[in-house]
Each structure stands twice: as structure tokens, then as C-alpha cells.
């Protein structure tokens, strides 16, 4: 069979998006990592599946697979592409779309300026919910690594994130410390690692070493986690603009118990069919 898909991206974090509402397919992990390959496949950071909901109050189920084939709980840039995909493919006539993910429900809304606003739900800060091994919840934790002791915040946006404050993202050890922390024993389900440089209370820069992928051009959930970490530590204020290598996201957060709101673009690159 030929499987129809769209190639999309949100700030250069790129996706293969497959409609499993009108098509039926089973996609083994090995197939996903073959297609993710940038030399011999389609090339993408994540595969996004659009499925019918399993709960009556939801519009769709949204599933996410990293380039290594592992299924994960959430993807923020993908959520914006998901909204654009279901609207442009006329899978819904709604402008406010409720989706279920393994990381919890999300509300996706198309804005008048062609961007997508996502209610990502509240961040989870209790160590057991991240999951992260720590005796008690704290704004920052000291973690021992082969590169010395690293001070980081640990936050779940449905998926796990570590945020490390740096003086400059240009010189931050993204590709050396990133993989060490990704597989650190204190993060039993591995972790996405963000390096945050604060420029002012409303403006920051971020690079993210993503679990199951490596450094990407942008990470939506990583930007949410970085905004939460910065606001909690009193160095950022909501709303905050975060510059990633692929472009800018706007994040809003009113504090513990409130949802993080992320706004940014979602683009279609091309559509295709691939043998399954
Ligand atoms: N690119 C994403 C996050 C994708 C999942 C992540 N790599 C994980 O393993 O949790 C985003 O935009 O949030």
C-alpha cells in the first residue's frame, strides 16, 4: 500500500504527519527510524499520527514518535502542525481543537495571523511526575556528571525536560553535556535538555538537545519548560519571547497550577506517498 503523508515543520523542527482517520496502517518502530533518516528516508525529527479520539469530549488523538522510533508523550511544535494539518485536510471545521496525547489533553487554536496558539496544560514540577530522582521538589537541582556538577531545573510538559541556565547559547555544551544528561540515571525515562540564555525578563535564547533525536532547530515543549524555569527563578516574566535556532515562540504562564500557552507558526513543506 502507499501511505499518504505531509512533511511539515514548526521553526525547523520537522515532521512526517500521517492521517490515520481516513487511512489504516500499522507503523513499526524500525520503519519510523528508516523514514526519519535524512540521507535514505524522508528525513524528520518526529512522526506525528492523527487518529480518531478515544474519549467522546476530544476531537482527535495525537501520537508522537521520535526519529529513533520511540513513542513519546508530547511535542509542542508538532501540536501546531497537527492543528494546521487537520484544518487544511478538512478533518475538522473547528478552529479550537481538543486533542488527547499520552502526556494529557491539549487545546489547539488557529489565530487570525495564521499562527497556532496551544494550551499545553500545566507544567508538572513534582520529581516523581517528571520522572526525576530527587528527595524533594526544588527550583533547581545539582546533578553530578562526567563534566562536573550541573545545576538544572526539572520540569514535565507531559514529556521530561531539564533546563540549564547558561551565559551564552553560542558556547553552551549542547552536544556534549546534552547527551550525558539525556541518559543520566536520575532521569529514568531519559530527558530533553534545554540550554537557556536570558537576555532580559521578556526575551531569552534557547537550544535543545532532544531525547531520541539530538539537537533540533526548535523544541516547543522545551521552550515551555524553559519559560517555566526562568519565571520560577525570577529571571523571566510572562509573556516571554524565546529565540530558538529556527525562530521565535511566545510563551505565557501565570504560575503554578496554570497552563502554559505557546504561540508560533506551522508550515507545510510538501505532501507525498510512500510504500508501506
Ligand atoms: N520537538 C518536540 C518534542 C518532541 C519529543 C521529545 N524529543 C521527547 O522525547 O520528549 C517539541 O516541539 O516539543
Taking the domains of the chain in order of start, what are their residue ranges?
2-121+265-271, 127-257
Ligand 1 near 156 CB (within 6 A): no
Ligand 1 near 220 CB (within 6 A): yes
State which fold the 2-121+265-271 domain adopts: Diaminopimelate Epimerase; Chain A, domain 1 (3.10.310)
Span from the CA of 210 to the centroid of ligand 1 (angstroms): 6
What's residue 36's pLDDT? Answer: 98
Span from the CA of 117 to the centroid of ligand 1 (angstroms): 17
The ligand 1 atom nearest the CA atom of 79: 12
Ligand 1 near 77 CB (within 6 A): yes
Residues in a beta bridge with 144 = 149
- For 197, the 3-state DSSP assignment is strand
Q: Is the peptide bond before 239 cis (omega within 30 degrees of 0)?
A: yes
Ligand 1 near 266 CB (within 6 A): no
pLDDT, averaged per 10 consecutive residues of the chain (276 residues), comes to 97 98 95 97 98 97 97 98 98 97 96 96 98 98 97 98 98 98 98 98 98 98 98 98 98 97 98 95
What's residue 262's pLDDT? Answer: 98
Report how far apart the first and last C-alpha atoms of the chain are (Å, whole number). Answer: 6
**What is the dihedral sign for C-alpha 240, 66, 50, 13?**
positive
- Under CATH, domain 127-257 is a member of which superfamily? Diaminopimelate Epimerase; Chain A, domain 1 (3.10.310.10)
What's residue 76's pLDDT? Answer: 98
Q: Do domains 2-121+265-271 and 127-257 have the same CATH topology?
A: yes
**Residue written as cell 543520566?**
184
178 is in an annotated binding site: no
Span from the CA of 47 to the centroid of ligand 1 (angstroms): 11
Q: Is 219 a catalytic residue?
A: yes
Question: For the whole model, what pTM was predicted?
Answer: 0.97
Compute the distance between CA of residue 264 and CA of residue 102 in angstroms, rounded to an integer: 22
Q: Is 81 a catalytic residue?
A: no
What's residue 231's pLDDT? Answer: 98
- Those residues whose C-beta lies under 8 Å from the C-beta of residue 15, and which sit 6 or more positions away, are 7, 8, 9, 44, 45, 46, 47, 48, 77, 78, 81
- For 176, the 3-state DSSP assignment is helix
Cα–Cα distances in angstroms (integers) from residue 233 to residues 138, 190, 194, 242, in the given order: 11, 24, 15, 16
Q: Confirm whether the ipTM is greater than 0.95.
A: yes
What's residue 152's pLDDT? Answer: 98
Amino acid at each position: 500500500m502507499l501511505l499518504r503523508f505531509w512533511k511539515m515543520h514548526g521553526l525547523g523542527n520537522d515532521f512526517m504527519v500521517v492521517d490515520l482517520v481516513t487511512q489504516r496502517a500499522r507503523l513499526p518502530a524500525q520503519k519510523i527510524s528508516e523514514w526519519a533518516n535524512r540521507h535514505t528516508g524522508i528525513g524528520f525529527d518526529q512522526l506525528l499520527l492523527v487518529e480518531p479520539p478515544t474519549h467522546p469530549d476530544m476531537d482527535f488523538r495525537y501520537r508522537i514518535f521520535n526519529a529513533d522510533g520511540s513513542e513519546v508523550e508530547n511535542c509542542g511544535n508538532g501540536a501546531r502542525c497537527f492543528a494546521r494539518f487537520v484544518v487544511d485536510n478538512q478533518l475538522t471545521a473547528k478552529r479550537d481543537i481538543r486533542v488527547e496525547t499520552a502526556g494529557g489533553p491539549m487545546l489547539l487554536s488557529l489565530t487570525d495571523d495564521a499562527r497556532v496558539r496551544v494550551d499545553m496544560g500545566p507544567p508538572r514540577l513534582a520529581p516523581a511526575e517528571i520522572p526525576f530522582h530527587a528527595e524533594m521538589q526544588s527550583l533547581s537541582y545539582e546533578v553530578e556528571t562526567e563534566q562536573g556538577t550541573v545545576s538544572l531545573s526539572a520540569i514535565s510538559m507531559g514529556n521530561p525536560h531539564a533546563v540549564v541556565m547558561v551565559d551564552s547559547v553560542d558556547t553552551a555544551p549542547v552536544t556534549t553535556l546534552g547527551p550525558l544528561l539525556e541518559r543520566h540515571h536520575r532521569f529514568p525515562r531519559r530527558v530533553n535538555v534545554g540550554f537557556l540564555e536570558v537576555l532580559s525578563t521578556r526575551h531569552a535564547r534557547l537550544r535543545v538537545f532532544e531525547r531520541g533525536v539530538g539537537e533540533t532547530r526548535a523544541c516547543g515543549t522545551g521552550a515551555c519548560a524553559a519559560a517555566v524555569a526562568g519565571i520560577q527563578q525570577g529571571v523571566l516574566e510572562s509573556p516571554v519571547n524565546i529565540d530558538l535556532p529556527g525562530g521565535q515562540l511566545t510563551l505565557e504562564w501565570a504560575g503554578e497550577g496554570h497552563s502554559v500557552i505557546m504561540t508560533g507558526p506551522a508550515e507545510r513543506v510538501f505532501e507525498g506517498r510512500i510504500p508501506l
